[in-house]
């Protein structure tokens, strides 16, 4: 089988590009920036289902994304998590959190109004993040 992005992730995000293991997505929700890493593997639900070498690669890619959000956006906290209760496909959220955001200090899930960025704002942020991600070895923009 081949990798196919879950329809809900496809509807709720913009594809920024790829690392060696993961596709990088930008959530359309007007919070963050909120990036999502999705290993390009078919039928994958859990991190521990990856071979050890790919678990390490996922951690490298995750750490690079978290560092980018911390350094470039001066976030107060970076929330990283893989929940998968609604979307079973393994995906790892990386959310730049700020004391001024609507959900602070609680979790974003269930604590925002779901407002999405306009297409213009989403496209501008996507281009900005693609340029920043392109500085990281192994990333290729979509």
Answer yes or no: is pLDDT of 1 > 80. no
**Which residues lie closer than 8 Å to 4 by C-beta, 6 or more apart?**
42
Burial class (CB in 10 A: 0-12, 13-18, 19+), 96: buried
pLDDT at 50: 98
Per domain, the residue ranges of the chain are 7-134
Q: Both tokens of residue 70?
A: 């911390």
> 7-134: which CATH topology?
HIT family, subunit A (3.30.428)
pLDDT digits (tens, 9 = 90+) for 31-53: 999 999 999 999 999 999 999 99
Instruction: Identify the pLDDT of residue 21.
Output: 99
Using one digit for the tens of pLDDT, what is the confidence trace for 54-88?
999 999 999 999 999 999 999 999 999 999 889 99
pTM confidence score: 0.96
């Amino acid at each position: 089988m081949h990798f196919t992005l879950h329809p809900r992730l496809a509807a709720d995000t913009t594809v920024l590009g790829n690392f060696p293991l993961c596709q990088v997505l930008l959530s359309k929700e007007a919070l963050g920036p909120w990036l999502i890493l999705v290993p390009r593997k078919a039928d994958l639900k859990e991190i521990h289902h990856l071979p050890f070498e790919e678990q390490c690669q996922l951690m490298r890619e995750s750490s690079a994304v978290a560092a980018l959000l911390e350094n470039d956006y001066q976030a107060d906290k970076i929330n990283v998590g893989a929940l998968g209760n609604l979307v079973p496909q393994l995906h790892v959220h990386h959310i730049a959190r700020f004391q001024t955001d609507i959900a602070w200090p609680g979790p974003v899930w269930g604590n925002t109004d779901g407002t999405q960025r306009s297409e213009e704002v989403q496209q501008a942020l996507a281009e900005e993040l693609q340029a920043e991600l392109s500085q990281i070895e192994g990333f290729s923009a979509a």
